[in-house]
Every structure is written in structure tokens, then in C-alpha cells.
Structure 1
């Protein structure tokens, strides 16, 4: 193999593929990155039997061939190279990489022992990259991170015609985003539980093109695979991952809140206040929101050592007409900040039902406008001391 490729193009591609390399590979060969040069392009790929990543780059190919090298080492080298074209030449045992006056020699791994990448399933539909990336970012904040409970570390994708829904929960909060997309067939239906980490990385890295293609394997296929394909900054990117096993909890009904009290406020003002007040919040204790007729007051404390109080102007509505049914609510401050930062509107609507019951946050474009129903974020309230 003998190729020349632009330094920035190579570095970007290698970094992206290397993110899918396992930290502790079950077998040493999985630490490798596969390079295949043919025609006028080179394909870089990795696979750990769960997730695959592949990027196709333009290159000047003098000699075609396929090699396998240490992925993380190549990533470190590519990141440090000077801004000059990169020449890569390999024989049967080693690859020599030259960039300007810098030269590296890498031992090759046995490419014949490397597993074949899974085949991308048939395309299920396409979606606008920016809309997809934003939707994923709004939902993954509610996904769990405890690998001992894998079903909560995923995002459930639900396909119903021209609507794509994303749903995640870690049992203490949940987020739902519904957005339009273009199904490959008019009657497209399906559901998949996708690892949140893979979904987040894929959506953020495929925003350079006009669309992202989602490919979901048939439920009858038994392989439980989903793939994403789209344009990256410097080439075409494809990734596949095996779906998570287990039944996702039925939490959609918790999104249907009939509020007794609603609070509307400026999102950025609430975010700034929560950040300041949370500085003194003791670990595993709540940030208290006191609800008054025309404002909310945020309070937190670390025993007798430090206290913080800040008021934020708000529009408070008694939905029952019988006086405020709730005058205080306890939030996990980190969960509250995650939810507020996931909103993409100037204002936020809090819908409260009763003390200890879930609180629903929805985005508002205008303070007196209708709350959006395409994004919903529910937080389980914490018990307040008497």
C-alpha cells in the first residue's frame, strides 16, 4: 500500500474512528485500525464486535492494499503531525508514515485475523443532520450511565410513519423528543434501543451533509443492528451498533401531566440562578424552588456553613382556581440544569401536579404562548424536609 492524504483530513478521520476502539479489548487484534486503499480513496475502520466505525476519504493511491495498525497510536501520531501532506507506505511487516521531516515506522498487525465489519442494514429513512443532532442532545441527558442497568443506558427510537421519536430515562428523569423525518416507505414502523453514547457521537459527527441515513435491521433478522451514515467534515462516515437487549420501561404516560400549578420564566435567567445557588448545595440534597404569585425563589444550603437564595421573576398560574396547590418543590440541581440546558427556547414552562410527583418541563417561544409538545422533560421531585 502506498498513499498520500492531506494531514487535516487524515487526522480528523483517524480521531473519529479511534473513538470506537475498545479501551480494554477482549482480544489484542481489536485494538487495530484497518486501512484499505483502492481507486482514489482510503477507508479507515474499526470494530469491537459491538460497534463499528468506517470513514471513506479521498486519497492519492499509488499502490492499493490493506493493512492493520495500532489505532490509538496512529491517532496520537496523526494529531501531532505538521500541516503538510502525509505519505503512507507499507510492506508485509511495517508501515512508514512521512509528513514533512517527521517519519514514523509502525509494525503491522495480522489483517487476516481482524473480524469483518457487519453489513449496513437496508435504509429505513433519512433525517436532517442538524435536527437529528439537536434532538439526540436533548434526549441523551436523561439516559442512565450505570452499566449494571444497561436498558437505561439506551435511547429508544420509535418509528411511526413520518415521525421519529427518541425517549430516554434513568428512572429519576426522562426526556421525549418527536420530530419529522423521511421514511424509506410510507408505512415505516419499528423500535430500537440504541446505546446512548454511540447515538450521541454519531449524531454530532455527521452534520456536514444534507441528510443522515438510519438503517434498522428487521426484527425478524435476529441480528439487532442499527446503522447511521452521513457526511462528516472530511469524508463519508458510517457506524453500526448492536441494539441493547431488554424491555424499555413504559414511561410515556408520565409525560401526560395535568398541572395544578404552572410556572413560566426566562430560561437563561433560571439557568444562571440555579448555577449560582447550586454552588452551596450539599451532595445528595435538593435545591428548593419556592413558588409565589409572581416569582420563584431558589434556595440551597450546606448545613450551617453556607446558604444561597435567589429570586427570579416568573408568571405563576393556579390551574385549579382554589389557591396554589404547591408552594415548594425540591429538585436535584444537576438534573434541573441538564433539563434547562436541553431546551432550545427563550422561556420554560414548569408543570407541577403535587408535592413528590413528577414535574414536566416544556419549551416556550413566548412567555404567553403555547408550550411546545415536541419536546418534554420530566424530573422526579425530591422529598423536602418538613
Structure 2
């Protein structure tokens, strides 16, 4: 095996494939990156049974072949390689890299012990790459981090006709985002639904969101099934999580709620500012008034902060609500609109956030919604 590639493109391929490497594994070969050179192309693959990532890069291939190299070590080497072309070769059991007078030699892992990669799932349809990346980022913030509840660490993907719905919840918040997609006549068009690991899906969406379309492949089967994403020269396959998220239709029914509206960036900065004095798990209180303002307050005793902002309120003369500041900031920053609308049921109850489009923008109401539980403060 021998090839020559541009350092920037080679390092980018290694870096993106390395995101699939497990942090710890009892199977040493899963810590390796598979490099395959053939016919003017280099393919770098990372795999840990839950995700497979394959990145292609241009290369001048003098001798085709395959090699399994320790992934973290190769990534470290790529970070310090000088700019320009990189010449790589397999010399007996050593993988060498030469760039502008700098030479590295790396041990290799037994290729025969590397597990077989999953076959790409059958094509199902396509979605705009940038829109998909944005949508995944908007809902992934609501996914849980507790690995003892794996279902709640996922993002639920639902395909229904020409609509895609992404949803995530950690029991304290629930984010939902809808967007258009194009099913393929051969396989798309029906309703399919599955939960994918949020962190893995976010990595995949970011890697694919550089422009163009993302082709989605689908292989049903619960925790044994796969969803594939292909865009440009990147292919990712994610294994499904077992189960389904709780239905959110009734949760998002906010009949009788008071409605507040406020400038989003101003509220975001105000929450960040007053939250400086909060202790762990201490809330930020927002007092909305029909007179045209919201007063933010945080802290206890002598350590307090407050800021007032312009806001509107309808459906009530006043509405005091309190939120976990980190959760509220996650929700506010997930929106792109200049203003945000809050449907409020009161202290200790649900609050539903929507984006409010600016002048000349399409009304995106319902496309992205974020539900939070407000905190019932002790008197």
C-alpha cells in the first residue's frame, strides 16, 4: 500500500472518521481507523458497532491496499503534519507518513480481526443538508445525557410523506422540529419512525451539512436496524435505539395559556447575565406584565441580580414563571428567529416556546417548538 494526499484533506478525513472511535473498548481493533487506497481514492473508516463513518479523499495511489492504524495516534500525527503533500506507505507492519522532511512511523493493528462493516441501508429519500444539520442541532439540546436511560439520549426521526419530524426529550423538556424532505418513489412515502443516538446523529449532521443534499437510507429492525446518511464524500450508518419517545401532542396543547413575546437575543443575554449569581439548580425568575415588560431576577440573600426588558403579555395581567437557566438558554439559543413567543400556564407548569419570524420572513410557527417545565419556587 502506498499513496500520496494533500495534508489538509487527509487530516480532515481522519478527523471526521475518528469521531466514530469509542472512548473505551474491550476490543482493541475498534480503536483503529481503516485506510483503504485504490484507484485515485483514499477511504478512511471508523466503526464501533453503533456507528460507521466512511470519508473519501483524493489520493495518488501508487499501490492499492488496506491498513488498520491506531486512530487516536494517527489523529495526533495529522494535527502536527506540515502543510503540503503527505506520502504514506505500509512497510511490513509499520505505517509511515512523510511530509516536508518530517517522518512518522506508526504500528498497525491486525486487519483480520477487524469486524465486517454494515452494508449501506436501502435508499429512502433526500433532505437539504444545511436544513437537516440545523434541525438536528435544534432538537438535540433536549436529549438526555444519562446513559442508564438510553432511549432518552436519542433523537426520534419520523418520516411521513414529504415531512420529516425530529424530536428529543429528557423528561424535563421536549423539542420538536419539522422540515420538508423528498422521499424516493422506490422506497419512500410511507410512515417510518426510529430513535437514533443524539450525539452520533449531531456529529453526522454537522459533517454532512456542508451543502447539497443528504440521502437517507433505512433498514428497519429496532436496535438491530440502521439508518444511513450519505452526502458528498461522507457516509454514516447509525444503529437504532430500541423504543419510542412518549407522544408529545397532549403536552403541546396549551389551551388557556397566557402568551408572552420578547426579543430573543436580548432575553438570552439577560438570562446569561442574571444567572451569574445563581447556585446549582437555582432558577431564574421571569415576571411578565401586561404593561409591557418582563423583569428577570435571580439569586438569594445579598447575592442577587435583576434586569428589565420590553415584552408583551396577553391572556393575563401578570405571569411569574421560573426556569432552570441552563435549560432556558438551551431553548432560546436553539431558535434563529429575532423574537420568541412563550405560551405560559403558570409556575410549576409547562411553557411552550416558538420562534417569531421577522418582517418578510416566512411564518415558521410550528416548525420548531421547545417545551420546558417551569419551576415552582418555594415561598
1:114 to 2:114 alignment: yes
Which moved further from structure 2: 331-340 or 186-195?
186-195
1:95–1:366 Cα change, 3 Å: closer
**What are structure 2's unaligned runs of at least 5 residues?**
none
Cα deviation for residue 222 of structure 1 reads 7.6
Moved over 4 A (4+): none
What is the TM-score normalised by the length of structure 2? 0.95
2:229 aligned partner: 228
Cα deviation for residue 48 of structure 1 reads 1.1
Cα deviation for residue 353 of structure 1 reads 1.9
1:166-189 deviations in Å (ceiling 9; x for gaps): 000000001000000011136232
**In the TM superposition, what are the counterparts of 1:156-167 in structure 2 within 5 Å?**
156-167=156-167
**In the TM superposition, what are the counterparts of 1:40-59 in structure 2 within 5 Å?**
40-59=40-59
Cα deviation for residue 315 of structure 1 reads 1.3
CA distance in 2, matches of 1:144, 1:19: 20
1:338 to 2:336 alignment: no
CA distance in 1, matches of 2:340, 2:197: 29
Q: Is the 8 A contact 2:130 2:211 kept in 1?
A: no
2:371 aligned partner: 378
1:12–1:222 Cα change, 3 Å: closer
SS in structure 1 opposite 2:138? helix
Q: Is the 8 A contact 2:126 2:181 kept in 1?
A: yes
What is the TM-score normalised by the length of structure 1? 0.94
Cα deviation for residue 195 of structure 1 reads 0.2
Cα deviation for residue 82 of structure 1 reads 0.5
1:269 to 2:266 alignment: yes
Cα deviation for residue 250 of structure 1 reads 2.0
CA distance in 1, matches of 2:68, 2:137: 34
1:244-299 deviations in Å (ceiling 9; x for gaps): 11332222321221243111111111111111111111211211111212111000
**What are structure 1's unaligned runs of at least 5 residues?**
none
1:17 to 2:12 alignment: no
Q: Is the 8 A contact 2:143 2:153 kept in 1?
A: yes
1:58–1:360 Cα change, 3 Å: same
SS in structure 1 opposite 2:193? strand
Q: Is the 8 A contact 2:150 2:241 kept in 1?
A: yes
**Which residue of 272, 275, 280 maps to 2:277?**
280
Q: Is the 8 A contact 1:259 1:351 kept in 2?
A: no
1:250–1:103 Cα change, 3 Å: same
Cα deviation for residue 123 of structure 1 reads 1.1
1:133 aligned partner: 133
CA distance in 2, matches of 1:87, 1:62: 10
Cα deviation for residue 38 of structure 1 reads 0.8
SS in structure 2 opposite 1:164? strand
1:46-104 deviations in Å (ceiling 9; x for gaps): 21111111111110000011111111100100111000100001133111110011001
CA distance in 2, matches of 1:228, 1:260: 40
CA distance in 1, matches of 2:346, 2:32: 55
CA distance in 2, matches of 1:259, 1:252: 16
**Which residue of 192, 205, 208 maps to 1:206?**
208
Q: Is the 8 A contact 1:42 1:56 kept in 2?
A: yes
1:301-342 deviations in Å (ceiling 9; x for gaps): 1x3241011111011112xxxx53x52101111111111101
CA distance in 2, matches of 1:90, 1:267: 55
1:138-163 deviations in Å (ceiling 9; x for gaps): 10010000001111000000110000
1:189–1:81 Cα change, 3 Å: same
Q: Is the 8 A contact 1:288 1:298 kept in 2?
A: yes
CA distance in 1, matches of 2:101, 2:249: 59
